[in-house]
Amino acid sequence: MTITIGRRALGLGAAALALPGLAHAQAAQQMSIATGTTGGVYYPLGGALANFLSRGIPGMSATAEVTGGSVANFQLLGAGRVGMLFGQVDAAVDAISGAGPFRGRKVPARAIAVLYTNRMQVVTTQATGINSIQGLKGKRVSTGAPGSATELFAFRVIEAAGLDREKDFAARERLSPAESTNAIRDGKLDAYFFVSGVPTSAVTDLAATPGTTIKLVDHADLHQKIVEKNGPVYFPEEIPANTYPGQQTANKQLSVANIIAVREDMPADLVTKILQVTWGSREDLVRTHSAARDFTLAAQKSSAAGIPWHPAAEAFWRAAGANLG
C-alpha cells in the first residue's frame, strides 16, 4: 500500500516501478497535505501542521499543498496523490457516497479529527446596495475557485434563494478569495462567496481598503431549504460585528464543520502518530490562526465528523476522553 504520493515520489518514475520496495520507502517518508487557496485558513494551518509532523515523526517529510479546496482535496485523496487533507464535511459526505462532483467515483476517506467551523461569507461592499442573496440577481458574482467547497456550498445557497446560477447573474466568476478581493477593488466584481474560518485574510484585506466599507450578506434564513435537500451538515451561526474592519453588524450566516481526513487504508500506527503530534500541537496551531481554538476534545463528535472515523482515530479520541456520541 502506498500511503501518499508526493512530488518527490512522483519523480521516481520508472526506477520506482522497477524497485517497488524503494518506492514504498520513499513514499512513506513524504506526506503531502492537501489544504486550499493561499487566501484562506487551510493553507496556513496545513503549513504549520506539516512542520510539526516533519519534526515530530521520525523519517517524515510533510508538505502543505496549495489546492482549489475541499472538493479537489478529496479527489486528490481518492487518486492517491495526497496522504491527508483538510476538508469540509459537506464535500466529505459527497465524496464517500459518490455524489455531486464525485458521482461514480467514491473516495475511501475516513475522518481523523474535527477541527473548527467554516463559515459561509457572502462578501460585498455598502456601495453595491446588495442586502440579500436575492439581491445578487443581475450582479457580477464569484462563486469560488473550481474544486472548492465554497463553490459546492455557494450553489446550494443560490438555489435555496430561488436563483439560477447560470442565468441570473450579469457574470459568474470562479475566483479564489484573494482574486475576488482584487476584482472588487478594481470594480470588476460586486460580490463573492467564500467559506472559511474567520477572520480570513482576503476579507480582512478588502475591509482594510481605504474608502471601502464591507458588508456580509445574511443568509441563515435559507437553512431549512438547504438541509431539506442536502442533509443536516449545515447549521446557522453569526459572525460578530467588528470581526472585520468596518463590519458594522453581525452576519447571520450558515456554517459547516471542517475535518482532517485520510484514506481508510492508512496504517493505524501512522494515524495514531499523526494525531499525537496534531493534538499535542494545538496551542501552536492557535498561534498560527485563531480558528484553531475550536479544535477541542468536545468538538470530536461523530455527528460533526460527518463520515466514519478511521478506527485508529476513534480509538485515539476515546482514549483521550472524547464523548464521540
pLDDT tens per residue, range 238-247? 999 999 999 9
pLDDT of residue 146: 87
Residue 318 CB: number of other CB atoms within 10 A?
13
Q: Can you list the alpha helix ranges (DSSP code H) found in 149-259?
A: 149-160, 177-185, 201-207, 223-230
Residue 154 CB: number of other CB atoms within 10 A?
25
Segments of the chain scoring below 50 in pLDDT: 1-27
Residue 41 CB: number of other CB atoms within 10 A?
26
pLDDT tens per residue, range 94-124? 999 999 899 989 999 999 999 998 899 999 9
First to last CA, the chain: 32
pLDDT of residue 211: 94
CA 119, CA 4: separation in Å to the nearest integer?
Answer: 30
pLDDT of residue 149: 86
Residues 6+ apart with CB under 8 A from 257: 88, 89, 114, 115, 116, 117, 118, 233, 299, 304, 305, 306
pTM of the model: 0.79
pLDDT of residue 2: 37
Q: Can you list the alpha helix ranges (DSSP code H) found in the chain?
A: 7-10, 13-18, 20-29, 42-56, 70-78, 89-97, 149-160, 177-185, 201-207, 223-230, 268-280, 282-288, 302-305, 311-320
